[in-house]
Structure 1
Amino acid sequence: MNDARFILAGAGAFGRELINWAEDCGTPFTAFLDSSAEALAGFGYALDYLGTPDDFQPRAGDLLVMGVGEPEAKRRLALQLMARGAQFARLVHPSAVVARSARLGEGVVVCPQALVSADAVLGDFSVVNALSSVGHDVDLGAFSTLSCHVDLTGWVRVGEACFFGSGARVLPKVRIGAAARIGAGAIVMRSVPDGATMYAAPAKKL
């Protein structure tokens, strides 16, 4: 008997999107972890509740997908679960376009109609949300999250745990420092230091 479980780690709004995308991939989730047993109540999703991440102990055959979008929360949860031996799958929607020469790390999520171009590198647990594009030779740092409609153009370098709001644009060869936050609609024309928050078009430092 095959008792392998496909588990969603975090069942908030982004997690509920992933439930739908996993079904499109033909690999529906069977269970979820969340701090609240009622996280999916009222939404009509029939997943088994396995308890909180603090209580979860993975077993052989389990595969998890991270349903958390906020980079630092995602990093903390991933490291917590991996320390117990949890194994993470990639989730790539069938409508996404991923170049054969692109490299995707552990736990990467690529959502509907996203583009990952030639020789791009997606770090572990990075997210490329719907209708976003990662240009050729981009290096997207681990735990980073692109919201919808983000455009990283060629040769952009992004540090770990960065967040990009909807519609943000980064010009070619720009470097984004670790833990930076790029506001919705921002156009980033120059390199961004670690931990900076950028906004407006062209982007300005807060």
Structure 2
Amino acid sequence: MSKIIIYGSKDFAYVIKSLVEDCGHEFVGFIDDYNDGEFVIGTYSDVKTKYPPHLYDIVIAIGYNNLDARWKVYQKILVDGYNIASLVHPTALISKSCEIGNGVIIMVGAIIDTNCVLNDLVVVWPGVVINHDSIIGENNFLSPNSTICGFVYTEQSCFIGAGAVIVNHTVVPQSSFIKAGQVYYQKKLVE
């Protein structure tokens, strides 16, 4: 069991708080650099002085509206020596052949098939299916019930909307925004 501090304090942070508890970890509080609020234990500067990295892990709950800021926070926290915890809900089904990076969040009922790679800071919402041999780039958000078919490669900082389907052998370019329900297949094939 780890002691987890969540970076962020808005709606997404409350979802992550529940996931922290479902995974059997201890929720310590939220970091918010701009606002006070329920469970907020201070700014990141405050937390660095009161909660040392050898005793606490951090989970990043900055949402998809600012993926660049999310990535910068991740880099800053790593430099300061904190472990950015990965959270995997107990009901998620993940092949043993998969590779899961730092700070990955996998929620209720997600399915991740054989030989997949989820790079650092990927968020997999409930019901997502990632099929065999796919690579999900850093800092991607995969919304509820989206489907990633086989041999897909999503580059860094992509948003995949709810119910979207990425067709097999597709590359999704960096910083793509795939709308909810969209079937995405137009880009070049993976070689």
Q: Is TM more than 0.5 here?
A: yes
Report the equivalent of 2:90: 94
CA distance in 1, matches of 2:12, 2:111: 19
Higher helix share: 2
Deviation (angstroms), 1:128: 0.6
Alignment of 1:66 onto 2:39:
no
Q: Deviations over 1:24-53 (max 9, x none)?
A: 111131122113221xx3xxxxx4x33123
Report the equivalent of 1:204: none
Is 2:4–2:20's contact at 8 Å kept on the other side of the alignment? no
Is 2:58–2:82's contact at 8 Å kept on the other side of the alignment? yes
Q: Aligned with 2:27: secondary structure?
A: coil
Q: Aligned with 1:15: secondary structure?
A: helix
Is 1:19–1:28's contact at 8 Å kept on the other side of the alignment? no
Letter in 1 for 2:148: L
Letter in 1 for 2:56: D
TM-score by length of 1: 0.83
Deviation (angstroms), 1:55: 4.3
Report the equivalent of 2:158: 162
Q: Aligned with 2:84: secondary structure?
A: coil
Is 1:109–1:128's contact at 8 Å kept on the other side of the alignment? yes
- Alignment: residue pair count: 181
Alignment of 1:79 onto 2:78:
no
Report the equivalent of 1:7: 5
Q: Deviations over 1:86-115 (max 9, x none)?
A: 211110000110110010000100000011
Structure 1, gaps ≥5 residues long: 42-46, 193-206
Moved more, 74-83 or 113-122: 74-83
Report the equivalent of 1:33: 31
TM-score by length of 2: 0.89
* Greater than 3 Å deviation, 4+ residue runs: none
CA RMSD of aligned residues (A): 1.5
CA distance in 2, matches of 1:26, 1:171: 35
Is 2:103–2:121's contact at 8 Å kept on the other side of the alignment? yes
Please give the residue correspondences for 1:1-206 in structure 2 after superposition, counting only pairs within 5 Å: 5-35=3-33, 36-38=35-37, 41=38, 47=39, 49-57=40-48, 59=52, 60-70=54-64, 71-191=67-187
Is 1:66–1:107's contact at 8 Å kept on the other side of the alignment? yes
CA distance in 2, matches of 1:54, 1:151: 39
Q: Aligned with 2:20: secondary structure?
A: helix
Letter in 2 for 1:31: G
Q: Deviations over 1:129-179 (max 9, x none)?
A: 111111111100011111111100000000001111111110001000111
